[in-house]
Amino acid sequence: MKRRLFTEEHAMFRGTFRHFVETEIAPHNEQWEKDGVVSRELWRHAGQQGFLGMDVPEKYGGSDIHDYCYSAIMQEEIVKANASSAALGISLHNDIVLPYFLRYCNDEQRQRWLPGICSGQSILAIAMTEPNTGSDLASIRTTALRKGDHYIVNGAKTFITNGILSDLVVVAVKTDPAQGRKGISLLVVERGMPGFTRGRKLDKIGLAAQDTAELFFEDVRVPIQNVLGDEGQGFKYLMSMLPQERLSVATLAVASCETALALTTQYCKDRTAFGQPIGSFQNSRFKLAEMATEVEIARVFVDRCIEELNAGQLTAETAAMAKWWTTELQGRVTDQCLQLHGGYGVMSEYPIARLYLDARAPRIYAGTNEIMKEIIGRAMGF
């Protein structure tokens, strides 16, 4: 089906960004996978080309473009290059963390932080998950107790995307531990603050070039000027931003499905067995037909979610539906595509192997798929 989302301007942008991927990402991705982190040069080059902070007002270095279609294009093009790790880091910066700065920063904070966010000098991360708390944000233990004109932050976070490279980290903390979720606030902790340290770079299944890390806070003095929004409103702020985060995950998942299917379709045309292309066997044709149908259904749904997000109408439950359905589909599609590759599918040099490994984590991060179903069920009145 023809996608209705994109205009001629979007098509031009896609061509420009595809060239960026071909020259700045694809040639280096193998090395980044070995290093376990992308280079800071990628971020600076992306900033120079205007691919970071497009939502930011022009006076701070952005393009003042409020259209998620551009983010979707960037995610799709990076995934087509089989560089999901880079896509995740940039998507987190642009689509997940930046909105907190745009919505909750005051004028002084915007002047201080937004130019670096757009230029790639300041890489963003958000720190919610803790070693003893996963999807239960109300139970976080990291504290930020007010002392004069500073907060004293103590605690630990884990599974933090962009954890090694990040310069500005939005940290969920308890400023009033006695108040539960009503005592949660958001602080921006900056690279170099004494007592703020990075732990080990975590060794994951898949997404090897994406720097996931532990973060530690030991008596970190954070000035009160670094609180985002109002003290005690952090839980509400986090909940308000989760629909876009989950749509971002769904966008990447569908792009991964499409990439895996395209690779496998071509492989089934080229690879022969018993004197004929393996795609000509009924089982192969049926598997490919089933996947093509399901991926098309997912694409239509996610594109509709993008339209609703742009219109300010995307609900938490719809975003949850998109996140859990597409990531489950991503797992099924990459598994079946690997199977159709036969023995070559488990060889690391084949792109389908990386897509397969990268497909596991999305069912967990941004809220597990079980939590997504809980959100949907509650919205139904249960």
Last residue of some domain: 89, 122, 155? Answer: 122
* pLDDT at 138 (0 to 100): 80
Does 150 share its domain with 198?
yes
168 and 197 together in one domain = yes
Please report whether residue 227 resides in a domain: yes
What pLDDT does residue 326 have?
98
Q: pLDDT tens across 160-172, in order? A: 999 999 999 999 9
210 φ/ψ sector (left φ>0, alpha ψ -120 to 50, else beta):
beta
Q: Which two three-digit tokens encode residue 223? A: 């000035």
**Average pLDDT over the chain, rounded to whole?**
95
Structural contact between residues 270 and 366, judged by C-beta atoms closer than 8 angstroms: no
Asked if 240 and 369 sit in the same domain, the reply is yes
Whichever domain contains 225, its CATH number is 2.40.110.10
Q: Please list the active-site residues.
A: 245
Structural domain range at position 288: 236-379
- pLDDT of res. 86: 85
Last residue of a domain, one of 122, 156, 172: 122
What pLDDT, on a 0 to 100 scale, did the predictor assign at position 27? 95
> Left (φ > 0), alpha (ψ -120 to 50) or beta: where does 22 sit?
alpha
Using a cut of 0.85, tell me whether the model's pTM lies above it.
Answer: yes
59, exposed or middle or buried, with CB in 10 Å at 0-12, 13-18, 19+? exposed
131 shares a domain with 81: no
Q: Is residue 13 part of a domain?
A: yes
- In terms of domains, do 248 and 176 share one? no
Cβ atoms within 10 Å of 64's Cβ, excluding its own: 12
Same domain for 115 and 137, yes or no, is no
Q: What pLDDT sits at residue 364?
A: 95
229: left (phi over 0), alpha (psi -120 to 50) or beta: left
| 215 shares a domain with 244 | no
> Could you tell me if residue 199 is inside a domain?
yes
Q: 190: part of which helix (H) or strand (E)?
A: strand 184-190
Tell me: do 250 and 222 sit in the same domain: no
3 assigned to some structural domain: no
State whether 276 and 327 are in the same domain. yes
Whole-angstrom distance, CA of residue 377 vs CA of residue 382: 6
pLDDT number for residue 137: 81
- Whether residues 330 and 306 fall in one domain: yes
Residue 2 lies in a domain: no
306 and 340 together in one domain = yes
Which residue stretches of the chain are H helix? 8-20, 29-35, 40-48, 68-80, 84-91, 98-104, 107-119, 234-270, 282-310, 316-340, 351-358, 369-379
**Could you read off the pLDDT of 82-111 as tens digits, one per residue?**
898 888 899 999 999 999 999 999 999 999
Could you tell me the sign of the dihedral formed by the alpha carbons of 86, 87, 92, 95, in that order? Answer: positive
Q: What is the pLDDT of residue 251?
A: 97
As given in the structure block, the two tokens for residue 373 are: 């179903």
Q: What is the mean pLDDT of each run of 10 residues along the chain (382 residues)?
A: 92 97 95 94 96 97 96 96 89 96 97 98 96 80 96 97 97 93 96 96 93 97 97 94 96 97 97 93 97 98 98 97 98 98 96 96 94 96 90
What's the token pair of residue 296?
Answer: 């098309």
CATH code, domain carrying 27: 1.10.540.10
Tens digits of per-residue pLDDT, 330-358? 999 999 999 999 999 999 999 999 999 99
CATH value at residue 374: 1.20.140.10
Measured CA to CA, the distance from residue 50 to residue 68 in angstroms comes to: 15
Give the SS3 label for residue 61: coil
The answer on 91 and 176 residing in a single domain is no
Number of domains in the chain: 3
Residue where a domain terminates, one of 122, 149, 175: 122
